[in-house]
Amino acid sequence: MQNAFGEPQTILLLGGTSDIGRAIVGKLVSPTCRNVVLACRTPSAAEPAIAALRRDGMTVTSIAFDASAPLTHAEFVADVVAQVGDIDVVIVAFGVLGDQATFDHDPVAASEAVTINYVGAVSVGLAVAEQFRKQGHGQLVVLSSVAGERVRKSNFVYGSSKAGLDGFAQGLGDSLEGTGAKVLVVRPGFVHSAMTAGLAAAPLSTTPDAVAEATVKALRSGRRTVWVPGALRYMFIVLRHLPGAVFRRLPLG
């Protein structure tokens, strides 16, 4: 359970190789933290992160997790609890960007991406929420994206999966009201990370560290949503309500 200063003792990162996820964990770790679990498809891929996060008195481990296998998620959460006890913070940071041109001609690839980005997050998110209800506490951080606020033609499969994820996370947070558990939805813009390497940066682009700093600040203040950078919130107030004919002509891709 978190201490009086809101510092978690146990953190679970779903997407153990995510640049943003690891940055958030790095800023959440304090001297009172006892366990960090990095979950990813190939646990050995998290070894560099384990070495970077390791502290005296704190155990950092990696565990196998397949976002595309929803049937395994309830058992996965139970296994983590059996290993480390109650979980204070869970970060949903897994996902794939994919390529819209590929998706246009490969519906199977598109469905696989949506399964990871949305279906997998719904499945494991509900399993985590059930554990939080049993505990009577817990914070779930869901990495959404501004791509889901107004889906663009250049990445509409990815954007639609983030739109679904964002709506799910908001509803899940509402359903947990009064249980002691909370959900924080994080909506970053373009983030310079391994996922976006080689892509042209969008306006108001940001970094994993900036997203992490804003996320931790939002967690500690009890917020339910956070935009990174904050100016994107006001930009999308306008973009969200533009007529389609106007939106499609904007140089947004």
158 is catalytic: yes
What is d(CA 58, CA 234) in angstroms, rounded to the nearest whole number? 40
Say if residues 184 and 139 touch (Cβ distance below 8 Å). yes
Half-sphere exposure for 46 (CA within 13 Å, toward CB): 25
Question: What CA–CA distances, in Å, run from 59 to 11, 48, 140, 234?
Answer: 11, 15, 21, 41
Exactly one of 94, 103, 132, 158 is catalytic; which is it?
158
3-state secondary structure of 103: helix
What is d(CA 169, CA 100) in angstroms, rounded to the nearest whole number? 24
Q: Is the dihedral of CA 213, 122, 223, 28 positive or negative?
A: negative
The catalytic site residues sit at: 158
